[in-house]
Amino acid sequence: MKNRFTQLRYWLLLPVLLAAQLLVAQTTITGHITDQADGAAVIGATILEKGTTNGTASDLDGNFTLKISSADATLVITYTGYSAQEVAVAGRTSIDIKMGEDATVLDQVVVVGYGTQRKSDLTGSVGTVKTADIERIATASIDQALQGKIAGVYVSPASGEPGAGAIIRIRGTGTLNNSSPIYVIDGMITYDASFVNPQDVQSVEVLKDASACAIYGSRGSNGVILITTKNGKKREKAVVSLSSYYGTQQITRKIDMMNAAEFAQSYNELTNSPYYPDPASLGEGTDWQDEIFRKAPIGNLQISANGGTERSSYNISANYFKQDGVLKNGDFQRVTVRFNNEFAVNNWLTLGNNLAYSNSKRNIAPGGVVGTAYRMPPVFAPYDSAGKFTDPTSPFGLALANPAADLFYKSDNTRNGDRFFGTIYGDIKLFKYFTFRSNFGFDLDNNRGRTFSPKFQVSASQLNKDDRLYISTAQQRDWVWEQTLRFEREWGSHRLSALAGYTSEYRRYEGFGAGRSSFPGTSSEILYLNAGNDTTQINGGSQHDEALVSYLFRTNYVFSERYLLTVSARVDQASRFSRANRTAVFPSFSLGWNLGQESFIENLRIFDRLKLRGSYGILGNQNSIRDRYYPSFGLIVAGQYAVFGAGESLNQGATLVSLGNPDLRWETTRQTDIGLEIGLLNNRLSAEIDWYKRVTYDIVGAIPIPDYIGSQDDPIVNSAEVQNTGVDLTLNWRQAGRVSWNLGAIASPVRNKVIKFNDQKAEILASFIQGEPATRSIPGEPIGSFYGFKSNGVFQSAEEAMTSPRLGNETAGDLRYVDINGDGKIDGLDRINLGSPIPTLTYGFTAGVDFAGFDLAADLFGVSGNKVYNSKKTFRFAVYNWEQSVFDGRWTPENTTATKPRITNGGHNYRVSDYYLEDGSFVRLRSLVLGYSLPTRWLQRAAISKFRVYASGFNLWTSQKYSGYSPEFGNDSSSYEVGFDNGGYPITKSWQFGLEVTF
Amino acid sequence: MKHAFFLQHKLLLTVGVVLLAATSCQKEFLDRKPLGQLTYDTFFENEDQAVYATNAIYNQFRQWDCISLPWIGLTDIISDDADKGSTPTDALYMLELDDFTFDATNTAFGSVWRGYYQAIGRANIAIQRLPDVNMDAAKRNRLIGEAKFLRAYAYFLLVQWFGDLPVITTPLKADEYYTQTRQPKEAVYTQIEQDLNDAIAVLPKKSEYSSNDLGRATSGAARGILAKLYMVKRDFVNAERVCLEIINSNQYSLLPRYADNFLQVGENGAESVFEINAAALPPQDGVIGAGASPYNMIQGVRGNPNLGWGFNRPSDNLVSAYESGDPRREATVIYVNEVLPDGVTQVQDNPEIVNERYNQKAWVPPHTGLQDNGPGNIRVLRYADILLLCAEAKNENSKSAEALPYLNQVRKRARGTNNFILQDVAITDQTMLRERIYRDRRSELAMEQQRWFDLARWGRLSTVLTAAGKTNFVPGKNELMPIPQSEVDLTGGKIQQNASY
């Protein structure tokens, strides 16, 4: 009875599966894995039923439970640094396995698109990050946790805003458009993985080459990030885990601005007047950065329970994450709940689900104050003597806004999100070798925004004449239905698996917003839309939908464990294109050779593992038209009002303002990859090196057409071609034993260049600053290369300026631009490419050591070869504060050996030039963790299996040449406009203390 | 086990049927049309849509590219009427226009070229598609007439700036994008003349429009542009004829007070022949300032009161060009410490600007939506302009005596009740009268974006601008603006650059 009750309780955890309660006997094996040398438990070893992809991993005590197809099965046990073992079950239900360190084959299971594969059989390039490496980073975003972990995967934080994600580039910037990869979370495709709680993640696999990505066809060209969430294991007692951390964040550094004395001196020099009779007396003044930034807490609490019964496994988790912004008034909090279940109804039917719900709430601080604080002269205090906000506009101009006032008046801005995301699937075993799976995935995303701007006036330009409340909602509904049939067979020295599938998808978005003004009060009970004045109401909506139908095919063939072949293809049909261009085929072909298994290599007794592989394939980039749902239609745009009549009323106008292109097709990438995997010294040292070449062609872009055509926007066409070539290098050293330690390094040099635009276009100028382009993309050079004048010191005297080639009326103390074409004058023709915002090398190091219960781990991440344009320094719409570096060494009539220009405010010295270009290289200590786990024997009486405390640091140390907060700036929309520091939300560093308890 | 086998097959069968069904309706599943939005294929199906398509042309004329910095830059600032204004370093490309240091990459040229060709593009769509719309024929003809008038006006501006032009009268197809060439300016004139004559034939007189439609193109407006075209072509006989047609239509008269023309009360008033209408309206359809133009914002007082950016500073040359006591000067220029026409607000000194002065004709009182919700109509054609053109044409046609009443009508209104100033002109010597008319034309129309075009058609750009201190002006080159460099580049030189650029 008690047993029945327990089972019932588990079934209640399986909301999808309640009906399925058939009792059929199963073959299950349990085991215990220990180190042959010291008898210690081997944690995380992979146990696989031979000839299948059915497998599990050993737990913290070295135990495992695995459901196997028959009592005659053979288990393959693998673990990095140990030799793989094959053990015949031979009717036993419990097995003890000792592992030795003289491995010859390393065989782990890797998640790939629509399935899993042995690492040794893999012919594609796939990088893996496991849960332990993810949990080390204190962040809400799974993206951020990937930085510096996988060769060829470049991760740059989007900003330091609470809950912010990251920009990811896999193997370079593949296109002029959006170059972000897609995410596949437990089989469900999405562009936005921000709701995923990193602590729910079992592993992240990054598919990098064509062989791995082609199964995702039109969405594969920028790489694929597969996220597998944790599940319990069948026949395992329930494990309840509790983990928590709490810490403090702050900005990584401050920008050195002029203090009040220096500003006053500079202002006197600027205006050539003694406006401030005694600048030095003003002293330090206000450091506006101190007025807007703060130390902010970050905290996380996770409770999970997982385990399994005879025929089911489950994992339930709940997580609460809260992060306050280092910019005052902003915060982010998120509750995530996850239910993962699998239930074997009988010996041929298995049902399962992976369901996640998340609720997030974000209070958005007015991010613009980072820029305003940067610009604000230090001679002001935030408040005047009466406690009112200071009006900073006199005498410096109306473009100044008091950042303290902006923070105060513009912080009532929230976003609330509900997301329900998951998959429900059924597996049917058919005949002997086939498995059919029907998988339904859904993503329901509801967002609500609320912004209230109160009425206020600080100055003639910093004011809001009437209050305004704006409420918006956005609803996204996606579903995917996939049918796949899998074939697996092993005979003799042959192993063959194949997959065929049919999928259909539909996405729909609807947004709505409305606002009113003139509210009768300002208390929170009053501030609802209906209370506003209805004559001030506005509303609007936007909506789109799309459908995709696909056919998939993949086959893997292994002969004699040595010769590997993978062929895959996906046929995508997309609603975005006209019927004629709707269908596209994305094939790939790859070969592998496990040289290590050849006797002539084995005889060398050097390599434990040696594999050579190569792949070639064609992939599409749906992201290229991500925001263009109906690109083949010419759209009639309403709202082109004309004003007529004595009463000056609006008369609706509508016409074709932009041309459609029914000939548009997929942007496509050809990718070639050659890889070598090596295991040495009993597999303690493993290395993986890949060379790749990605050529993206038919790049979708708005290619300029002559303006006489009269189109408001340039039509979208397939045109440009971009190439990335590079190497991904991964090295790992892993030593198991009483003191186990590991070292890892990744390095990814990459070279990006534009090959061509269309025939009508030789260059693309973009990122205009004060009407001047700051980037130029031309064939042969990287996308979005910085473009402007080259400076060479300053004119030390007026005579020197008069007699030199000049742009305009430069005089003593102004920047001297180089006359590149030597025609005796400086003009637009003297601008050149000044460098690229794309790093030529990204690299990372990891190190970890475990000894006597202590664990210590560190991650370093770095980039080099990229430039950064300090554009915030060039914005001058009034007299703004200058960076301190402008002060020291500036030209003055007294200092005529200066290397820096005189104090100016706009004009010549602020043209786009290399004077504002800085080195973007940096190395950062991404994480540092020190933990201690209490010995198991102390805990057993308390029924605790693990008790660990740790301290961790995030971004604690950075070495950078750049003068701003950080040389990383998120820009996900255009490849032409990367690497500009416009004064965004800076990234943070933090300290956390954490606790993990497992019962 | 057997049971399971059958269940398995039933499941398979079900899945198979569903799959088949899914595959068979796949075409419909994949045919997705824009939601909540008409497309080019589904437009032009009723009268409302015909009206919308026509209104959208008017809309373009109050957009940034058409009537903002590039517009005042290439009319007032580039002439001797105005300096750049604003703070010394704001919008340096405008300074290049003032100083004649520009080249073909100056964004002002690209702006007006793009802006007015977009207006032409919108007109071409309406002119091509409207004939097929099932609607009242008279109204359809009127709408097509409006579109033709607007197209002619856009070409007229472009041809005066750039000379020879690609003449595009139907929406281009993809294979025609890069193949256009510049037609001789005479061909452009012919196209303008034809459009205007077509428009005159179908457009109502000003008084024939309902008050709700005030501001739409009239036959009088079309004649006004036609008169100007004849003046440019130096076809003074036709110019005189058309001016007299306007005058004799009895649709227009001068407002008693000159300054009222530029206040809200003067909008679409008795003197107005054509205006680009704009209004500062409460938000509509989620758009704030849906009726606005940036015209007032760019020229408004910068500082206190803060009404705008302060561009287009009336030049010293202009200020000293008026006859003694001419009240039109005070109605044209705002000085520091002056009380604005609202009778209350006094302009404060702004230390960021040297020798502050503003264009009073672009002044508007504070309004909802702040600066960028500019409410002022852009006065394209005033009756006073027509009277002066008539005087000029008659004088050129050797009817100097007949010219005088038209000139004096304008002067009389300007002097108001003060009989000591701006006395009637009685000169009948053609050459001398010409100078009087030219001078009055400047005083009457200063800062109304006419000066450059007048100097150009008089052939006086070089002499006048050089005398005004614009020593960088190169005769034989700067009479025409450079074609935007991007047009030359994009067409691989099929669009040829003007001489010496």
Determine how many CB atoms are found less than 10 A away from the CB of residue A678.
20
DSSP string, A519-549: -S--STTT-SGGGSEEEEEEEEEEEEEEEEE
pLDDT at A14: 41
Name every residue whose Cβ is closer than 8 Å to that of residue A883 and which is 6 or more positions away in sequence: A255, A256, A257, A258, A873, A963
CA distance B308 to B295: 10
Contact A438 B37 (CB under 8 A): no
Give residue-wise pLDDT tens across range B81-90: 999 999 887 8
Taking alpha carbons only, the member of A63, A308, A320, A319 closest to residue A945 is A63
Q: Between A397, A428, A576, which is nearest B352 by CB?
A: A397
Yes or no: say if A785 and A834 are a contact pair by the CB < 8 Å rule: yes
Asked if the C-beta of B43 comes within 8 angstroms of chain A's C-beta atoms, the answer is: yes
Split chain A (999 residues) into runs of 10 and give each run's mean pLDDT: 44 38 57 76 78 76 83 79 76 82 56 85 84 73 77 76 80 73 90 86 88 88 89 81 92 93 93 90 93 92 89 92 92 94 90 94 89 92 91 82 92 94 92 90 95 90 88 95 92 92 94 93 91 88 93 93 92 90 92 88 85 93 80 87 90 86 88 91 87 89 83 81 89 82 89 78 77 85 91 92 85 92 85 91 89 87 92 86 92 91 86 93 90 80 83 91 86 74 87 89
CA distance A321 to A338: 14
Q: Which chain B residues are within 8 Å of A656, Cβ to Cβ?
A: 40, 43, 125, 171
Which tokens belong to B220?
A: 């009088």
Nearest residue of A to residue B278, measured between CA atoms: A643
Q: A809 exposed, middle or buried (CB, 10 Å; 0-12, 13-18, 19+)?
A: exposed
CA distance A120 to A677: 10
Taking alpha carbons only, the member of A619, A590, A562, A782 closest to residue A690 is A590
Sign, CA torsion A283/A288/A291/A297:
negative
Amino acid at the residue B212: N
CA distance A864 to A839: 5
CA-angle at B14, arms to B13 and B19, nearest 5°: 95
- pLDDT at residue B311 tops 90: yes
In this prediction, residue B369 has a pLDDT band, given cuts at 50, 70 and 90, of: low
User: What does the DSSP 8-state code read for residue A241?
Assistant: E
Q: Are strands A296-308 and A239-251 parallel, antiparallel or unpaired?
A: antiparallel
**Cα distances (angstroms) measured from residue A242 to each of A14, A304, A470, A947:** 22, 7, 40, 10
In this prediction, residue B18 has a pLDDT band, given cuts at 50, 70 and 90, of: low
CA distance A926 to A956: 7
DSSP string, B454-480: HHHHHT-HHHHHHHTT-TT--TTTTTS
Asked if the C-beta of B482 comes within 8 angstroms of chain A's C-beta atoms, the answer is: no
List A168's β-bridge partners, or say none: A155
- Which element (helix H / strand E) includes A857? strand A854-864
In this prediction, residue B442 has a pLDDT band, given cuts at 50, 70 and 90, of: very high
CA distance A842 to A523: 51
Contact A638 B90 (CB under 8 A): no
CA distance A137 to A197: 12
Name every residue whose Cβ is closer than 8 Å to that of residue B1 and which is 6 or more positions away in sequence: none
Q: Between A502, A646, A710, which is nearest B117 by CB?
A: A710
Determine how many CB atoms are found less than 10 A away from the CB of residue B141.
16
Determine how many CB atoms are found less than 10 A away from the CB of residue B195.
26
Radius of gyration for the alpha carbons in chain A, expressed in angstroms and rounded: 31
CA distance B37 to B44: 14
CA distance B452 to B469: 15
Q: The pTM is what?
A: 0.76
Q: A52 exposed, middle or buried (CB, 10 Å; 0-12, 13-18, 19+)?
A: middle
Q: At what angle do helices B236-248 and B383-396 cross, to 10 degrees?
A: 140
Contact A905 B114 (CB under 8 A): no
SS3 for A57?
Answer: strand
Q: Which chain A residues are within 8 Å of B110, Cβ to Cβ?
A: 707
Name every residue whose Cβ is closer than 8 Å to that of residue A116 and which is 6 or more positions away in sequence: A53, A55, A109, A110
Top pLDDT among B282 and A218 is at A218
DSSP string, A420-471: EEEEEEEEEEETTTEEEEEEEEEEEEEEEEEEEE--EESSSSSEESS-EEEE
Write phi, then psi, for B435 (nearest 5 degrees): -65, -40
Contact A706 B178 (CB under 8 A): yes
Per-residue pLDDT, averaged over B207-236, amounts to 97
Contact A907 B214 (CB under 8 A): no
Q: Which B positions 286-325 lie with beta carbon below 8 A of chain A?
A: 286-288, 290-291, 303-304, 306
Q: A698's torsion region: left (phi>0), alpha (psi -120 to 50) or beta?
A: left
Amino acid at the residue A809: N
Name every residue whose Cβ is closer than 8 Å to that of residue B388 and which is 6 or more positions away in sequence: B406, B407, B410, B437, B440, B441, B444, B445
Q: Where are the beta strands (DSSP E) in A132-231?
A: 153-157, 166-170, 182-185, 188-190, 201-207, 224-229
Q: Which B positions 222-241 lie with beta carbon below 8 A of chain A?
A: none
Contact B286 A636 (CB under 8 A): no
Amino acid at the residue B471: T
Contact B290 A536 (CB under 8 A): no
Q: Which B positions 46-65 lie with beta carbon below 8 A of chain A?
A: 48-49, 51-60, 62
Which tokens belong to A195?
A: 């709701």
**Cα distances (angstroms) measured from residue A108 to each of A155, A227, A611, A728:** 26, 17, 14, 20
Q: Which B positions 262-281 lie with beta carbon below 8 A of chain A?
A: 267-268, 277-279, 281
Yes or no: say if A839 and A920 are a contact pair by the CB < 8 Å rule: yes
CA distance A401 to A391: 8
Which tokens belong to A99?
A: 């592992």
User: What does the DSSP 8-state code read for residue A808?
Assistant: S
CA-angle at B492, arms to B490 and B494, nearest 5°: 105
Amino acid at the residue A497: S
Yes or no: say if A651 and B284 are a contact pair by the CB < 8 Å rule: no
Taking alpha carbons only, the member of A509, A506, A476, A441 closest to residue A183 is A441
CA distance B49 to B55: 10
Taking alpha carbons only, the member of B368, B311, B332, B258 closest to residue B70 is B311
Amino acid at the residue B40: Y
b vs e for A55-89, b when ≥16 Cβ sit within 10 Å of the residue's Cβ?
Answer: bbbbbeebbbbbbbeeeebebbbbbbbbbbbebeb
